Each structure stands twice: as structure tokens, then as C-alpha cells.
Amino acid sequence: MKVTLLAFCFIFITAITWAQTTTLSGTIKDDGGHPVAFATVLVNHSTLGTSANSEGEYTLNLASGSYEILFKAIGYRQESRKITVTNSKQTLNITLSLAAYELRNVVVKAGGEDPAYAIIRKAIRKRKTYLHEVKTYTCEAYVKGLQKLLAAPKKFMGRDINQLGKQLGLDSNRRGIIYLSESESKISFMEPDRTHEEVISSKVSGSNRAFTFNRAAEMTVNFYQNLQNWQGLSNRPLVSPIADNALSFYHYKWIGQTTENGQIINKIQVIPKHLYEPTFSGYIYIMEDSWRIHSVDLSLTKSAGINFVDTLKIKEQYIPVAHNAWLPASAKFEFTAGLFGFKLGGYFIALYKNYEVDPKLDKKQFAELVRITREVNKQDTTYWQQVRPIPLTEEEKTDYVKKETLARRRESKAYQDSIDRIFNKVTPMGLLVSGIGIRNRYKNEYYYIDPLASSLLYNTVEGFAINYGMSYSKRIDSITNKYVRLGGHIRYGFSNHMLHGNINGAFPVNDYTIAFSGGTDVVDMNNMQPITTLTNTTSSLFFRKNYEKLYDKHFAQVSVSRRIIGGWLASVSAEAADRRWLNNTSYYSFYYHDRRYTSNNPFAPTQEDVQIFDRNQAFTINVRTSYNFSNKYVTYPTGRYYLPSPYPRLEVNYTKGIKNVFGSDVDYDLLSANVSKENVSLGLYGNLSFYVGAGKFLNKNKLYYLDYKHFLGNQIILYKQSLNNFLLLNYYNYSTDNQYLEGHLEQNFDGLLLSKVPVLRRLKLQELVEYNYLTTPTFKNYHEIGLGIKYLNFRILYAHAYQDNNNKRSALRIDIGF
């Protein structure tokens, strides 16, 4: 009863509040009668405001009273109107004239320095002051995102784009809105860069269940920071026009001054000194005397080396929110992009209001960066009509209405079943190449059967073989996104006539994940699996080089894992295994028949009957824990997700081989640890990745080669990049039963040098330097140095290896990215 009464009171108070507000609306145009898109409308001496839409239309809800309303847009002269608001709706249309920037009291001598440089130097000197001006603040934000497909081919990779366009609500020419979303958020900020955003409401056109991609906290661009790290969009950090070293990257031109609210504003053109440097172009507006940023109108193009988009325009306006404190009133990103015949365009715009400067905030709340609950998309059309600060255009209104019908249809069981019937069709191509997927969207179930092409293999132990598998998954909790997964494989060698089969699975129990596997399999002697089955098959059949060394394993394994707290993970696993030696039984290849295959013993390549180990049983327990020194996470309706840490990740492993349990023969203890981190930003000098690992057998009373510490070696031209891989190390010969130390370092310069080469810079190549090190008691001081380039996910390196200035080797290494 109390809850019902409280809900009724809330609705009643809300209705009264809405009834007491008046809507001020109108259009904002320029002198030529054209709409001024996204012009800003502010209530003077407050942070209350709104923005016009793309057609210059605005609405602003105000309580009864007298106000001074400011109308402004970057590049236009501000207009103000004093109004008295009553209970009736009011219309106020405004015309904005282009701002006149005058060259006041300045004489520019021939050959002299442009006045812009003096202004920029003063702004640079004040940069740190304004960067740390506001220690904490909170505000409310509204974000709107729109993306439109401007052009598209009729077919792409065999798919009918017309048919896909109908599902997306596009017109017959494959054009229209593909993403339209609005959201309201509450933002908290604490210096230096802590943010917490709670999404209050969300609306996505075309889905009643989806949640917005809009993030108000990510929309703010702080040009008081020297560098803008927009990972993905730009390989290199972007240099602010007022960075400490900005004069090395930009030319400046003073356009003139204008006066706004009694303050003099300088308009300065920002011009990159060199093409293909990570720099902006456009205009920055600096306030006289205080030398703070008033607003920016900047852009990025392909010449700045950006990825995925052709152009990106950034507009940001600041307003005073407290004594000597200015913060963004609005930020807008507008982009165009094109690829493979598709052309996209769109924008994201954020409006900020109701700032509170220097509130008392708890650092603990910033462990959560974003919070989106299941209720945020439950608000109806009436709610959005009341709170939406930017009016919808007719096209956007139509999109919401049309896609609301599509959403109800798509979310029905009948529609989902019809989509499943199309998706679940068994085709010869699926059977051979892509696999067979069978999905039941309504029940959240998915079956997958491996394709025959990737199931076929060859090695000298089994000859031609098939390793055919299938898997099943079911989402059992849509809130926490928990799944039950099952899978299995059947494997048969046509030369040794051995049949193997195994199963595996995983399921959640409260905060734990329990996994199991068991059966029989043919397994690599190097438990790091440095060479893939496909690579070994290709190498054997085409070059008669059988790198992979295998053994027969009968096993049962179970593990329990969970997140202890934040970035601290832990797992415990136990395995019982019967391990048997296998000899070569096949010597077939397409080519190089005069070349001899090596035996299955890497230490006796010419002796077929020499075994590294006898048949044995092993029972082992492994305890693993890792910590990434960060507890930051985001909360979505599907659960909590922890984010990558800016700090290195520390991992500790302990493996115990226990004798006489399940007939086990082994008795050893291996303790190891490693610390690693990918993509440590070095600013304009790119990013650094590293891995350092060390370990020692504390006890080695009884162990076999299979229990040794193995490494990720490589002996062929193709390799798969990882943090702890070697480029030229033998797969098996340098494994150890003692102690070891390994280190890996990669520096990616992100085009620091090649971006200056006219012909190459268009490719956005990234320079790579790699260094690898390994030492053991029997294999001391092994070094590798690799130099190369990276293009997208493709990389090529020339590697050189040496050991105490001996055993020098060099070779080319290529990673094709998949």
C-alpha cells in the first residue's frame, strides 16, 4: 500500500510540475533564411538550456517568470531576448547574423609574427590552470545519436541489401536512418579523469528492448589535455591546439575579435604544419585576458591519419558554471564515412545542464564507470515529449513510428521463428566451409556443428584424420548473461586406426563457474600448443615438414573459477590422465618426396622407435590467480563487466603433481609468475607491450617431458602474435625441468616515421620493434630482435636470433591476423 501511495504521489507531483511549465519554442535561422542547425539556447546566468535540431527548431520548458534567453552558435553573433513566461505556450523566432570579427588595435607588419601566436602562447601557459580548475562536479546530460545510410550497393558478399534494408526500415534506394537513440544521464567527475555515468532513461528507435550506445561522459573533449587518446579512431594520440608542444604542430592565424556578454573573444584559425600528423584543423575561440577556451570548431580528415571515417567535425561550447569555472554546455561530433560502396553519415550531440561544482564525492563510486539498469528503456512517448530538449525532425518522428511497428513484429515469437528457419537452413557450403548453426532465439539456444573443411587434418602419427565436433549453448539468465555450454569431438586417424572422443562443458553456480572435460584425444607434447593443426597439416602435405609432435591422452578434468573481487580472479583445477607414446604411421605428402619426415621424437628426429617417455599416469592440481590492480567496471542490464586495467596484470601459478592418487606416477612442484601489459601509451611515440615470466620446479622427484615448462616457439614463416611468443625458437628442444626466465617487449611506433613518407603514409603503416629473451640452466641467454611493420591486423617482421653471439639465425615472419 505504501509503495502504491508513493508511486501515486510521484505521478501527481510530476503532473503538477509539467503543468506549471511553459514551452518556449521557435526556429533559429540565419540572415539568408536558412536554419542554423544545433544552435544553442541558454537561460542567462544559469546552466539551463537546449539546442535546436538539424532544421533550426528548438523547444525550452520554463516555469512562469522573467528570463533573458541567449541564442548562440559558433561563428554567429549572439542574440538575447528578455521574455516573461506565463502559463500559455510561447513562440519566439530568432535570426542570427554571422559574427563580425574585427582587427582591433593590432598592426601586423610585413614579415612579422601573426597576433594569433601571442594569444596561443598565453593560452598554453594557462592550460594547466584550467585543466585542474574544477576538482569535482556533477551534471545532467542529454545525448542524441543519429546515423544514416546515404548510399549502398544492391548486393554485398552475396547478401541482398534490399532485403536487409526492409528489415532496417530503409527506403527502396537503401537509404535512411539506421540508428536513432536518445538518453538522459547523470554524470559525476573527479580529478584527474574519474567519471561515473548513470543512464536515467534510454530510447532506441526500432527496439523496445535495446539499450543506447550513447555515453555522455565520452562526448566531452578536454582540449586542456595535451593529447586526445581516441583509440581506434586514430592510431596516434591527437595533439591539442593548445598543447605544450602545439607550436611544433600548428600554424595559427588571427581572424579577429568580437564581443559577447561584455567579453572579448578571439577567433583563431588552426592550421596543421604537416599533412598526416595527428592534428586538428579549423577554429578555436580564446577569451581575452583570461585566455581560456570559449568554444571550438575543429575537424579531422583522412590527412590526419584517422581510421574508419572520412571526416569528423567537433564543436564544443563552454559556459560559466561557477565563479572562475567554465564547463561544456554542448558537444557535437558529426561524421561521414564510406567503404565498399556504403556511405554513412551522422552525429552525436550532448547537452549538459544543472552543474554542481565541487560537491563532495566518494572515490569509491568511481569504480563503476557506467550504470544502465533494466528500467531505463521503459519510459513512454509522453515522457519523452516532455523532457526531450532537442525537437525531433519529421524524418525522426516517422522513423520512431515506423520502427515501433517493426520492433513489435521482430520481438514476436512468430517473427523470431521465421528468422530462425532462414538461419537454420542446412546448405552444402555450410556443411563444408562455414559449419551448421541451429538457433532458437525465443529459447536462447544455439547449436553448432563444425564444418568438414576445418575438421580434416593430416599428421604423421594419424595420417589423414577427422576431428569433428559440435557445441550447444543456452542462456539461462538474461539479467546476468549466464550460459550453460556443452561440446564434444570425435576423432579418427585413417592410418593408425585409432578412435578418440571427448566432451566438455561449463555452467554457473552462484558466483562460480564449473567446467569439466574428459575422454581421449591426440595432444601436442608442448602444452602451449605453439603450432596449429592447420599449419602443421599444410607444412606436412606441401613441404614434408611435420613439426607437431603428438601423444595419446585419456583424461578427466574439472575446474572451479570465480572473480574474488574486482580485478582479482582465481581458479583451481584437477586432472587425472593416462599418457601414451605414439609413433609415426604415415609418410605421405604432395611434394618433396625425397625429403625425409622426422620421427615423433623431437630429440631423435631420425630414430623412429626412440621414445621420450614411457606410458604413465599423472594426477595434477593447478591453482591460478591473477590481479590487474583495477576494480573498474560497467553495469549493464545483462550484468557487471570489468574493464581492462591501465596497470600491468600479475599472475601466479602453482602446479602440483601428486603421486599414488589414481595410480599417478608424477611427483613435482612448479611455481611460476608473470607480469604483462598491452598497449602502454607513450604519447606520440606509440605504445609498448611487455611480458615477463619466471618459474622454478621446487621439487622434481618424478616428472616426464610432458610436465616440463614449455614455451611458445615458432619455426615457420607464418606465426600468431601473442604477448609471450618467440619468433625463431624451436617448438620442443628448449623446454625445461628446472628454472627459467623469459621476457618479451614490443614497441609499436604507430606510424611515427612512416607517416612522413609521402607514398607510404596513406597506408597508415605502423613501425614495430620486438625483443624476446629466454634463459634456463641448459639454454642460456637466447635473444631475438624483430623489425617490421603492421597494417591493420597484418604484420611482417624480419627476425634475428642469437645466443651469446653464437647460433645466429635470421628469417622472415608474417602474421596474417587470423
Could you read off the pLDDT of 628-669 as tens digits, one per residue?
Answer: 988 899 888 877 888 888 899 999 999 999 999 999 999 999
Amino acid letter at 34?
H
Who wins on pLDDT, 798 or 49?
798
Asked if residue 207 lies in contact with residue 179, where contact means CB atoms within 8 angstroms, the answer is: no
Q: Best-predicted range by mean pLDDT among 330-344, 384-398, 563-577?
A: 563-577
Judged against a pLDDT cut of 80, whether residue 601 lies above it is answered with: yes
Bond into 605 cis (ω within 30): no
Alpha helices in 220-373 (DSSP H): none
Q: How many residues does the chain have?
A: 818
Burial environment of residue 649 by CB neighbours within 10 A (0 to 12, 13 to 18, 19 or more): buried
Q: pTM of the entire structure?
A: 0.85
Q: What is the CA radius of gyration of the chain?
A: 32
| Residue 93 CB coordination number (10 Å) | 12
Pairing between strand 633-636 and 616-627?
unpaired
What value does the mean pLDDT of the chain take? 88
φ/ψ of 659, rounded to 5, equals -80, 150
CA angle 148, 153, 154 (to 5 degrees): 115
d(CA 85, CA 97): 26
d(CA 469, CA 466): 10
Burial environment of residue 246 by CB neighbours within 10 A (0 to 12, 13 to 18, 19 or more): buried
Enter the C-alpha cell of residue 117.
601566436
pLDDT tens-digit series, residues 478-525: 666 788 999 999 999 999 999 999 999 999 998 899 999 999 999 999
Q: How far is CA 627 from CA 323, 531, 562, 641, 675, in A?
A: 43, 29, 12, 15, 10
Closest CA to 474 of 486, 488, 460, 490: 486
Burial environment of residue 456 by CB neighbours within 10 A (0 to 12, 13 to 18, 19 or more): middle
Who wins on pLDDT, 810 or 275?
810
- Taking residues 247-265, report their average pLDDT: 92
What's the confidence (pLDDT) of residue 157? 63
DSSP string computed for 253-294:
EEEEEEEETTEEEEEEEEEESSTTSSB-EEEEEEETTT--EE
pLDDT tens-digit series, residues 698-740: 999 999 999 999 999 999 998 889 999 999 999 999 999 999 9
Judged against a pLDDT cut of 80, whether residue 221 lies above it is answered with: yes
pLDDT tens-digit series, residues 739-791: 999 999 999 998 888 888 887 877 888 999 999 999 999 999 999 999 999 98
d(CA 579, CA 614): 8
Tell me if residue 115 falls in helix, strand or coil. Answer: helix
DSSP 8-state code for residue 712: B
Closest CA to 68 of 82, 79, 58: 82
- Taking residues 85-94, report their average pLDDT: 84
Amino acid letter at 520?
T
Domains of the chain in start order, with CATH, are 18-96 (2.60.40.10), 450-665 (no CATH), 681-818 (no CATH)
d(CA 318, CA 221): 11
* From 402-406, 446-450, 539-543, 588-592, the region with the lowest mean pLDDT: 402-406
Judged against a pLDDT cut of 60, whether residue 681 lies above it is answered with: yes
What's the confidence (pLDDT) of residue 400? 87
Amino acid letter at 670?
L
Burial environment of residue 163 by CB neighbours within 10 A (0 to 12, 13 to 18, 19 or more): exposed
* From 201-215, 297-311, 392-406, 620-634, the region with the lowest mean pLDDT: 201-215
| Residue 686 CB coordination number (10 Å) | 22
What's the confidence (pLDDT) of residue 10? 32
What's the confidence (pLDDT) of residue 17? 36
Amino acid letter at 572?
V
Asked if residue 430 lies in contact with residue 424, where contact means CB atoms within 8 angstroms, the answer is: no
d(CA 463, CA 465): 6
Judged against a pLDDT cut of 60, whether residue 571 lies above it is answered with: yes
d(CA 234, CA 220): 17
Handedness of CA 581, 585, 589, 595 (dihedral sign): positive
Q: Could you tell me how far CA 101 lies from the centroid of its own chain?
A: 42
What's the confidence (pLDDT) of residue 683? 87
DSSP string computed for 53-90:
-TTSEEEEEEESEEEEEEEE-TTB--EEEEEEE-SS-E
Instruction: For residue 418, give every residue at least 6 positions away whose Cβ sits within 8 Å of its Cβ, in sequence order, or none.
Output: none
What's the confidence (pLDDT) of residue 442? 79
What's the confidence (pLDDT) of residue 488? 97
Q: How confident is the model at residue 102 (pLDDT cuts 50, 70, 90)?
A: confident
Handedness of CA 31, 35, 40, 43 (dihedral sign): positive
Judged against a pLDDT cut of 70, whether residue 5 lies above it is answered with: no
What's the confidence (pLDDT) of residue 479? 62
pLDDT tens-digit series, residues 124-177: 999 999 999 999 999 999 999 998 888 877 777 666 666 666 666 677 677 888
Q: Could you tell me how far CA 597 lies from the centroid of its own chain?
A: 44
Asked if residue 240 lies in contact with residue 228, where contact means CB atoms within 8 angstroms, the answer is: yes
Return the exposure string of 402-429: e unless at least 16 CB atoms fall within 10 Å of the residue's CB, then b.
ebeebbeebeeeeebeeebeeeeeeeee
Handedness of CA 56, 62, 65, 67 (dihedral sign): negative
E runs forming strands in 525-615: 550-565, 568-580
Distance spanning both ends of the chain, measured CA to CA: 60
What's the confidence (pLDDT) of residue 107? 56
Judged against a pLDDT cut of 90, whether residue 23 lies above it is answered with: no
Who wins on pLDDT, 264 or 637?
264
Tell me if residue 165 falls in helix, strand or coil. Answer: helix
Enter the C-alpha cell of residue 423.
538461419
Return the exposure string of 709-724: e unless at least 16 CB atoms fall within 10 Å of the residue's CB, then b.
bbbbbbbbeebebebb
**Which single residue is written with the C-alpha cell 536558412?**
34
Handedness of CA 710, 716, 717, 720 (dihedral sign): negative
- Taking residues 598-608, report their average pLDDT: 94
Q: In what order do the strands lie in the sheet with 49-51?
A: 49-51, 40-43, 65-72, 79-85
- Taking residues 308-326, report their average pLDDT: 88
Asked if residue 676 lies in contact with residue 667, where contact means CB atoms within 8 angstroms, the answer is: no
Enter the C-alpha cell of residue 116.
594569433
Judged against a pLDDT cut of 60, whether residue 209 lies above it is answered with: no
What's the confidence (pLDDT) of residue 502? 97
What's the confidence (pLDDT) of residue 160? 67
| Residue 627 CB coordination number (10 Å) | 19
d(CA 561, CA 452): 33
Percent of the chain with pLDDT over 90: 55
- Taking residues 583-602, report their average pLDDT: 95
Closest CA to 559 of 509, 616, 519: 509
φ/ψ of 533, rounded to 5, equals -60, -45
DSSP string computed for 193-212:
TEEEEEEEEEEETTBSS---
d(CA 309, CA 250): 22
Instruction: For residue 186, give every residue at least 6 positions away whose Cβ sits within 8 Å of its Cβ, in sequence order, or none.
Output: 138, 139, 140, 141, 197, 198, 200
Q: How confident is the model at residue 463 (pLDDT cuts 50, 70, 90)?
A: very high
- Taking residues 309-319, report their average pLDDT: 90
* From 82-86, 315-319, 612-616, the region with the lowest mean pLDDT: 82-86
